[in-house]
Each structure stands twice: as C-alpha cells, then as structure tokens.
A and B are shown apart, each in its own frame.
Chain A
Amino acid sequence: MKPAPFVRHVPKTLDEALKILADVAPQDGRVLAGGQSLVPIMAFRLAKPAHLVDINEVVGLDKVISDGTTLTIGARVRHAAFHKSVVDNPLGQLLSAVVRHIAHYPIRMRGTFCGSLAHADPASEWCLVVATLDATLVAKSTRGERLIAAKDFFAGIMSTALAEDELLAEARLPLLASDVRFGFNEFNRRAGDFAMAASLVTYRLNAGKIAEARVGLGGAESFPRRIVEAEAALNGKTPGDTVFRAAAEAAAKAIDPLEDHQTNAEYRRDLVRAVVRRALEQSA
C-alpha cells in the first residue's frame, strides 16, 4: 500500500463516529467517506493521517430528503445518486445536469456530495452548487451541531470552516421556485478533468426581465462564490447576448484569479468570460 500507516475506525452510528473523531482529531484523524480525493493524496503521502474514521457503515447518513422547502443530503450520499433527478423540483434537474461533469463514472459511484464539500477543492462542482444556491451546511461533533452558511464555509484552497472534530453530516439546499432557469458550463482540457473554470447561474424572469440572478463561479479562485458584480449586470435586464456578455465581462474583471505554471491570470479571465456567458446562454 502506498499511504503511510494509519488506523481505520469503522463506527456504525453517528454518535460513535463523532466520539471517535473527537478522540483522534488531535492526532490528525480524518473522516473517510468516498475517499476519491483523500486516498490519492494519502497515496502520494501528501496527507498522512494517523487515523481514518470511515463513515461508510454509519446508519442514517445515506438519505436524500425533501421537506417541500429544503433538500437535505446526508454525508454518505454518492455523486451517482444525482444522475437522475432526486426531487420533483428544478433543483433535481440542476443537480443531475451538474453531476455529469464530475470526474468519471466509477468515481461518481464512490465519491460523496458532502465529501466534496469538506475537501473543498476550488474546482469542485458541488462546492460551486452550494455556494451559488446559498446552501446551509450542518457540522456535527460531540460538542453539538452547528449550521454554517455556504458563504462562510469555504476558507481557501482545500480549507473550510469545519473544526478538526466536526463531521459534515449533511448539506441543506433550498428548493428552487418552479420558474427558475439555470445554466451550467465548465472548461477542462480533457473530459472528466478538474474544471479550470466553471459557472452555475440561476435567475427568474419578472415581466421579461432578469430577477434574483445568481452567478456562481468555481475553479477560478481559491474557492467558489457568487459574483455580485455579474449578478448586478443581469438583474432588471432582458436576457440576451449583450447582457450576457456584459455579465461575463463583469465576472472576469471581478475575480482574483488562481494562477499556476500553465495558467496565468489573463487566461483564467478568458475562461471565466467564456463559462459565465455559456452558462447564461444555456439558461436562456
């Protein structure tokens, strides 16, 4: 095995899981759900957790529940659960449109929605979804339960507001109004790769004018967020090419772009301009 030695704990109940997590957290204990991000990092020994709290057998965390206003997604729910619409609401269609962009089929069979959020890769599609829709994230520990707004959850590249002993037990997404329009677009070099920029947009039409616009952007900055400058460029306007281009340009200007050895700030802005406009075109 490639990873450094570790102890794997396999709790059966949430209480047991939280108790073990509280015990091992000070010794770099980590939660293992689908393992599609954590395990490769461990294989490269970039992460060497001494303990893994494997939640795959914890009862009750595998549910997707709608109460008519909120969709609650448990910590064990796999990406593949969203291949078909999980709820009779535009949100169900939105999630099933987005999920197909997540990596490859075998990874979607194993990786989890909440695991993606806790891992907080800037390119994660689900992180973009919760940021755009202002979801609420539920952190649980032996100290109790804490509700964290998506805008307060992401702290940086692979960094979140979760404390070491907290388990991201569920994500709560608001159901969408029945007339909400949405569009999603992402750019990557190969099918299934991490997005180099991704955008999710939603809005409603009020007498032909855009209202309640949300423009979410992922993969372009340290963490996904809504771009208010782009939303302002849309609200009150009639949807169309000129307006969409203006919103895309506003987004490209507003960002603090991630840069790496191949991708400079100018290129990242090029991509942002393209994905925002294309997401908007798709929504129209």
Chain B
Amino acid sequence: MSAHGTRGSGTTWVGRAIRRLEDPALITGKGRFTADLPAIHWVRFVRSTVAAGKLTKVHAPKGAMVITAADLKGVKKITPMLHKFNYRPVGQPALADGMVRFTGEPVAAVVAASEEEAEDIADQVELSIDETTPVTDARRALEAGAPQVHAEAPGNVILEGKVKTPDFDTVWNGAHKIVKVEARSRRQNATPMEPRGAHASYDVSTGRVTLTCTTQMPHLTRTAICDVLAFPESDLRVIAPDVGGGFGQKMSLASEYVVLVWLARKLKSSVAWTEDRRENLIAGFHSRDQHITLEGAFDRQSKLVALKADIVSNVGAYSCFPTTCGVEPLMAMAEMPGPYDVQQYACLARGVITNTCTMAPYRGVSRPVITFTLERLMDKAARAFAIDPIDIRRRNLIDKFPYKSAMGLEYDDATYKETLEMAVEAVDVPAFRARQKEARAKGRYLGIGFATFSERTGYGSPAFAARGMEITPGWETVIVSVDPSGFVEARIGSSPHGQGLRTTLAQIIADAIGTTPEMIKVVHGDTDRAPYGWGTFASRSLVISGGATLIAARKVRAKLIKIASHMLEAAPDDIVLADGSAKVAGTDRAIPIAKLAREAYTQTHRFKGEIEPGLTETGHYDPPGTFSNACHDAIVDVDAETGHVKVERFVVAEDAGLIINPMIADGQVHGGIAQGIGNALLEEIIYDDNGGILTATLADYLPPTAHEIPPIELHHIETPSPNSITKAKGLGEGGCIGAPAAVVNAINDALSPFGVEIEEIPATPQRIRAALRSAEKHSAHSRASGNPGP
C-alpha cells in the first residue's frame, strides 16, 4: 500500500507518472484519424425515418448510385449467438431488408464522388414504408398484444436469465424487513468525440481490402466482416488508427462497415463514410435503458440476507455483435450483489427487443445501473432501520477474501471497507452535517451520498464462456521483439484508443529488460502487424495485455541474459540487466543491450547452436479476473425551486491493485466520473410515442461540460491482485459505475426534509421538481385534512 502523496517516484518505471508517449502527436494535430484519408467514392446512408414498417420501395434519383438490400445478394445477416438463457438469435441485415425496425436504421447507401454530392443525392432519395405500430418501451413490449419486433422472438423476449440460490425462500421468509427499490435508468449514448467512420480501399494487384475504421476491436471486425461477406480473412486488413474515444460503442460491429467493404470489392476502388453527430445519436448504438426492481431482505441487525432482482433491459432492435444483447441483462444478473456479503439471491433478467436503436456495451455495462439500484436500496434500508447510511454499509461490505459470491464469482483481495472509511474520513461527515443543517435553515438543500462498488475487470475466457457466447473473448497475445538496432517493439492484440497503453506497457517492458520507455514502441490496431487479439474493452487491456506483455518481456529478458552470459563468459545468475546494459554483478564488465540484440541476429554462429536466432518472444495470458473497488462520495447542492443540481465536491477512494502509471490511472477515473455525472443528471435519449427520436443533436442530448464537473479528489489504496501477474487491476469503468449512485443518493439526502425519493436517472431538474411538487401537494393536502406534514 502506498499513499497518494508518495506515488510517482521510485526506482522502477512501473509506478511512475511519466507523460504519455502517445500524446505529443495527438496534442500537436498530428494524430491520424479515419476521416483524414482521401477516397475516390464517398457514402451517405439513407436511414429509416420511422420506427417500424414494411419497406416497399427506395426511390433513387435518376443516374445516382444507390445501393439497397436487393444489391447485397449473398451477404449474410449479422447474427451473434449465445448458447444459453433461451437466447433467440435474430439477424441484422447490413441494409434494411423488407422491414425497418428503428428510426435511423440504414436502408440505402448513396455512393458519389464527394461527401457533399452523396449528401445532396441522399436528400433526394425517398423511402416508401408502410408504417406499423412500434413499441419503444421494454415494459410495454412485454405486455400481451404488444407489437412483435422479430418473428423469431415471440413476446419480444430475446433472452431470459434466471437464478435462485437453494436456501433463498427460507431466508427470505424469515427476514425481519424487506426494502424495495423500483429503479429506472433512461437510455444513453456513449457519445465519443469522434463518431463512427470507415474507409475501405481495394488493392487491384492483390485483391485485398484495407478497412481503416474507428473501432476498439480490429481483429474481430475482420472476422465478422469476412464471415458475412464470405471471403478469406487473409484478404482483409483492418486498421484502427487513432480513435477518438470508444467507450464500448465502437466494440460492436457497425453494419455500415460491412457495406463499405462490400462496396470497395465491388467498385475495386476506395470508398469512405464519416458518421455525423445526428447519425451517431440516433443509430450509433445506445445503452443503459433498464428497469430494475430490487428487493433486499434484512435481519434485525440490518444485515442483508437475501436479494431479489427483476431486471428488464431494453436491448433495441437487433443484437450487437460479438457480445450479443445479453451483455447488459447478464452482467446485471451476475454482479447485482456487488460489494455486499449476501449469499441468498434470486434474479430474473430479461433482454427485451423493441423498435429502438440497438443496445451495445457502454463503459460500465449495466454496473452503473445496478450500483445505482443497490446503493439506493442500502440508503433506503438505512432509513428504514433509522441508522446512518455509512453504518449500514459497514455492516454489510465483504471483508474476507477470497470471497465467493452467490453467483459463484470469486472476489480477490479488495478493500471495500477501507475505501469506505477513507472516503468518509476525507469528507468530514460531522462538519458537513452541521453545514447542511445551517444551509437548510436558509432554504438551501445540500446532500451527501455514498456509493461503494466492486468492478470486475481483466477477466479472461472462462468468464465470457459462462455466458455461453459463441464468440468467447478473453485471452491476449503480445509479441515483444528487440530488433537489430536495439529498439524494442511490442505488438499487441489489444487496441487502445485513449487508455495510454503505449506508455504503460512500455513501463512494464522497461523494468523487465532494463531499458527505458523511450526505447519501446507499442504497435496495435493493425491486423497485419498485431497478433490476433480481442481489442480494448471491459477494463481488460492493462491486466490481460499487460500480463501477456510481462510474460513475453520476461522471456526476452531470459534470452538477453543467456546471450550476455555467453558473450561475457559469466554465469547467467551473475548477469544484471539495467540502464540499457547487461552487466556482470560486482565487476565493471558490461555490454549494451543494443549490442546483444545485434549479436542475436548477426553473430548467431558464435552461439554454437545453443541459442536460437533472433530476439522475438510471445506471451499469452488468460486470467480469471480481478475485482477493483472504490467508494465514491458526492456532495450536491439542490435548488429546490428549479430542481437544478450542482455537484459541489466529489471524492473517490479507489483500489485498483498495483498502479502502473498514477497519472493515467487518475485520468481514467476523472473521465469516468464525468460520464457518470452526465448519466446521473443530464444524458437521456428520448423517443416519442411514434418511435421518433427527440434528442438527435447535442443541443438536446446533453453530455456534461467542464462547467458541470467539480474538482475530483482521489485517494488510493494499492492491494496487489493475486489474479493478475502484473498485480494490477483494471479501472477503466469504475468512475462511471459509482458516480450516478453517489450523486443521486446525495440528491435524496438533500431532499430528505421533503420526503422525496428519486429512483430514476438522469435525475433531471424536471423530474426533481415533479417529485417536489407532488410532495408539496401531498403536504398541502395533509395540512388541509389536519394531518401533520413532513
């Protein structure tokens, strides 16, 4: 363990807050993005203007090249698969084929010589659609007689997970008190700075296509596109250049990319598409649209003894590839118990298909919603028992490790209680309560809210296999080479897009082989250069790619020592790799690593067959997974007259194992919290009754700006993970997992004098005022009838 103040120094590269090696290009305008590439042909997609209907005709202007489903003969539907949970596979055509199922679904691709021309032609394309009644709300879609979105999924249920521990009923029936939360999370869009986009170019000499696209998983994009277009993967190169944010939205296959590759092969030329913001907001994948009813059974000591959840996840019109739409409901089901010790659990989790944009993972995947729900439950339970919200957490947090959850997940060493105490200490709760009391007397409503949570990160193939995924990701491969010039190249299957992996992996390698990060280049995002891998998502890359990197680097180290031992005529145990040289301990004999590398290629005859030529080693890693944890703590100021919420202060006490680069780790937490505050207060995709989308611009869909984000105070504990060979845990998602719960708990604390409960995110000013108005009316009514008000 180390306190925050001492981080960033030491004798190793790991643990130091060195500046990111990827930043100089990005901050001087030298980044290279998909949309920077020139193309011969440009595409504009014509999208459905209605949510449901039969597509009868596409009217194209004369002479224009307009591709529809009729042209894509032989192109298979994108059909991801789960082999569990009553999953009903539904296929998504690259362009709508006969039916349209959500507003924004791509129907036709206009191809023209410029982006402008394509846009002008697309403006003239008319769609004939016989509209049918859509269903956009998941609970409505479950009702008898609701419109059917896909014939293959009767009742609109695409998957159903059920679990009940053996002693659940007994414990439930014997409980002292049941507390219930009806939580609603509205639909959100990940809103990466760079919307989606792709550029496909055909090489007439080899027949290969190079697809440059803004993706988080280049290899899987290659596999998926070659599957649906039925050609060899060796004929497709996928490049993810600099990617302007993904947050999960770019880990699902965009059907538009399939069309681009098809066009490049048909036209034997280059073709490009850049998504605009409106398209991204209506069709670039959504998430977090869930209803969760959660009931907790407590004993007399306010100990949670059983948990019952009903999870309804609105997964949109199709199932995203490769995870399938099970990603949200199944994640919610598996991790609902969170950081609390509760061994009895019953859950029904359903994925419900509707006439809305398809759901895809978004940073945190369900955990922002389940944490919000569970942390509301704990606050409500504290109130029911008339104890402090901090105390009820103290009584229920897991403190013995390893811990096996009711769902059978194994939690490795963590610090749920310690981070809670750290966050409580940081904020000085008694002083806050005094200030809160004083403010209330003046009509100002301050509140404090806590959220404790566990964040499962860095999980390998067994965890994904538990979902029955036909495509089961998990492992990673890294190839570390020292080339004859003495420079190091690490080729990785992960595909970082802002996470700083070029720097953190270089720090790991630098320590392993005794060199400096500047000597190391991390190569990723190109299927011709990088080994097959799963990309970057699910807070996995530092743990899994980092682990594979360490394994490969240790092999390189062993080989360097072997060569040095040979050349220096010293025992391998006496060789020390440091400062770019191999030295014989206790002597002044040394050889630069660059020289050893040169020998490994050019002087192999000297090794007499005892050492294989070259200096390239491969590492594979497929870990079981590790749980990070944190406590978030928000202080808010609620304007009771307007419903406006200002987040005044935000405190985080976090444990993500060994921290490789404190600056990068802090940046991840900051960014996550910004998105979490957006989820808590601002961001909401809204459909009207006809399935039209009302939030198609950034004037209507409101991500937070710097004004809305308070200073964030971070406190760290570093508990090394036994389930990670680098000892690091993932932390990419934690910020946005805890923030909505902390903020909304703080709002409810602020509004406690009114007897108001907010159980919906975003907690917009309209919703807060509606709750207060109803409380005011109730209170006026009570006064009129002689009852005491709150």
Contact = CB atoms under 8 A, between A and B. Distances in A.
Contacts of B407: none
Contact of B278 (A5, A44, A190): A44
Contacts of A189: 644, 682, 702, 764-765
A2 B119 contact: yes
A207 interface: no
Contact of B642 (A1, A4, A44, A187): A187
B770 interface: yes
B386 interface: no
A5 B773 CA distance: 49
Interface residues of A, number: 23
Interface in A263-281: 263-264, 266-267, 270-271, 273-274
Given A45-B123, A187-B644, A270 B773 contact: yes
A7 interface: no
B694 A261 contact: yes
A190 B647 CA distance: 12
B692 to A, nearest CB: 10
Contacts of A4: 120, 123
Interface string B395-411: 00000000000000000
A190 B682 contact: yes
A242 interface: no
Interface in B53-69: none
B688 interface: yes
Interface string B747-778: 00000000000000000111001100100000
Contacts of B644: 187, 189
Contacts of B707: 190-192
A197 B639 CA distance: 15
Looking at chain B's contact residues, is the secondary structure mostly helix, strand, loop, or mixed? loop
Interface string B628-654: 000000000001011110000000000
Nearest to B645: A189
Contact of A193 (B116, B276, B643, B702): B702
B226 interface: no
B697 interface: yes
Nearest to A271: B642
Given A44-B697, A266-B773, A267-B766, A190 B702 contact: yes
B708 A190 contact: yes
A192 B769 CA distance: 22
Nearest to A264: B766
Interface in A1-43: 1-2, 4-5
A113 interface: no
Interface string B109-150: 000000010011001000000000000000000000000000
A5 B770 CA distance: 45
Nearest to B694: A261
Given A261-B686, A262-B764, A270-B773, A190 B642 contact: no
Given A190-B702, A190-B708, A274 B694 contact: no
Nearest to B678: A190
B431 interface: no
Contacts of B702: 189-190, 193
B116 A194 contact: no
B11 interface: no
A267 B765 CA distance: 9
Nearest to A263: B766
A270 B686 contact: no
A235 to B, nearest CB: 25
B704 A5 contact: no
B688 A1 contact: no
Interface in B689-746: 694, 697, 699, 702, 704-705, 707-708
B687 to A, nearest CB: 9
A190 B766 contact: no
Contacts of B766: 262-264, 267
B769 A270 contact: yes
Contacts of A5: 120
B110 to A, nearest CB: 14
A264 B708 CA distance: 24
Interface in A175-201: 187, 189-194
Contacts of B770: 266-267
A64 to B, nearest CB: 29
B641 to A, nearest CB: 4
A123 to B, nearest CB: 11
Nearest to B114: A1
A201 B765 CA distance: 24
B579 to A, nearest CB: 49
A175 B779 CA distance: 48
A261 B643 CA distance: 17
B705 A2 contact: no
Contacts of B119: 2
Contacts of B116: 1
B704 A190 contact: yes
Contacts of B642: 187, 270-271, 274
A141 to B, nearest CB: 31
Contacts of A192: 705, 707
A2 B641 contact: no
Contacts of B120: 4-5
A262 B688 CA distance: 11
A191 B708 contact: yes
A278 to B, nearest CB: 9
B682 A262 contact: no
A5 B702 CA distance: 30
Contact of B699 (A194, A263, A270): A194
Nearest to A268: B766
A191 B276 CA distance: 24
Interface centre among B641, B702, B707 (most CB of A within 10 A): B641
Nearest to B706: A191
Contact of A190 (B276, B643, B705, B773): B705
Contacts of B694: 261
Contacts of A44: 278, 697
A205 B688 CA distance: 49
Interface in A223-270: 261-264, 266-267, 270
Interface centre among B641, B642, B699, B704 (most CB of A within 10 A): B642
A261 B773 contact: no
A264 B764 CA distance: 13
Given A190-B702, A190-B705, A270 B764 contact: no
Contacts of A45: 123
B705 A274 contact: no
B123 to A, nearest CB: 6
Contacts of B688: 261
A124 to B, nearest CB: 14
Interface in B655-711: 682, 686, 688, 694, 697, 699, 702, 704-705, 707-708
A137 to B, nearest CB: 26
Contacts of A271: 642
Interface in B217-276: 276
Contacts of A1: 116
B763 to A, nearest CB: 12
29 contacts: A2-B119, A4-B123, A44-B278, A44-B697, A45-B123, A187-B642, A189-B644, A189-B702, A189-B765, A190-B682, A190-B707, A191-B708, A192-B707, A193-B702, A194-B699, A261-B686, A261-B688, A262-B686, A264-B766, A266-B769, A266-B770, A266-B773, A267-B765, A267-B769, A267-B770, A270-B641, A274-B639, A274-B641, A274-B642
Interface of A: 1-2, 4-5, 44-45, 187, 189-194, 261-264, 266-267, 270-271, 273-274
Interface of B: 116, 119-120, 123, 276, 278, 639, 641-644, 682, 686, 688, 694, 697, 699, 702, 704-705, 707-708, 764-766, 769-770, 773
Ranked nearest first, the 8 interchain pairs of A and B with the lowest CB-CB distance are A191-B707, A274-B641, A274-B642, A261-B694, A267-B766, A262-B766, A270-B769, A1-B116
Given A44-B697, A262-B686, 8 more contacts: A1-B116, A5-B120, A189-B682, A190-B702, A193-B699, A194-B699, A270-B641, A270-B642
